[in-house]
Amino acid sequence: MEFRAEYKNAKVSPKKARDVAREIQGMQVSDAINALTFTPRKAARFLNKTLKSAVANAGNISEEKPELNIDIEALMVKEAVVNDGRTLRRYKPRARGSAGPIRRRQSHLTIVISDSSGSEEKEKSADSSDS
């Protein structure tokens, strides 16, 4: 089962956030939270917040539907995607009456966690190959 969380319009450049997001893909959730906690970058704080939100989503669904048997400790980060958000355009005065553009970029962060690292995909591919 997959659980997701999104953080829209994070005030960090997508290029800078992607470096941090690549580090946590495929990690156990507890290891990813530890790694993000001790990473001294602004994007790590936003990704940590989003990851904890995805874990909370999984916990809430497991309380609502106990028949799913979701083990929170066994969750893994399946995807950590950083997309471009809106860009605020500002101008800074430059020499001789001209103006230089400043682009303040924002990001949309999406984290998908899964209780198994790919067993569902293997089952689906096995079912489709049997047909």
Return the closest-CA partner of residue 6 out of 81, 75, 64, 73.
Answer: 81
Q: Is residue 130 part of a domain?
A: no
Number of domains in the chain: 1
Q: Are 108 and 8 spatial neighbours (Cβ–Cβ below 8 Å)?
A: yes
Q: Say how far apart CA 86 and CA 66 lie, in whole Å.
A: 39
Question: Which residue range(s) make up the domain with 98?
Answer: 2-118
Q: Say how far apart CA 62 and CA 69 lie, in whole Å.
A: 7
Q: Are 76 and 30 spatial neighbours (Cβ–Cβ below 8 Å)?
A: no
Q: Say how far apart CA 85 and CA 17 lie, in whole Å.
A: 12
pLDDT of residue 70: 85
The CATH number linked to 48 is: 3.90.470.10
Q: Is residue 131 part of a domain?
A: no
Q: Is residue 127 part of a domain?
A: no
pTM above 0.75, yes or no: yes
The CA-based angle 82-83-84, given to 5 degrees, is: 130
Q: Say how far apart CA 21 and CA 47 lie, in whole Å.
A: 7
Q: Is residue 37 part of a domain?
A: yes
pLDDT digit string (tens) for the chain, length 131 residues: 899 999 999 999 999 999 999 999 999 999 999 999 999 999 999 999 999 999 999 999 988 888 888 888 899 999 999 999 999 999 999 999 999 999 999 999 999 999 874 555 555 555 566 65
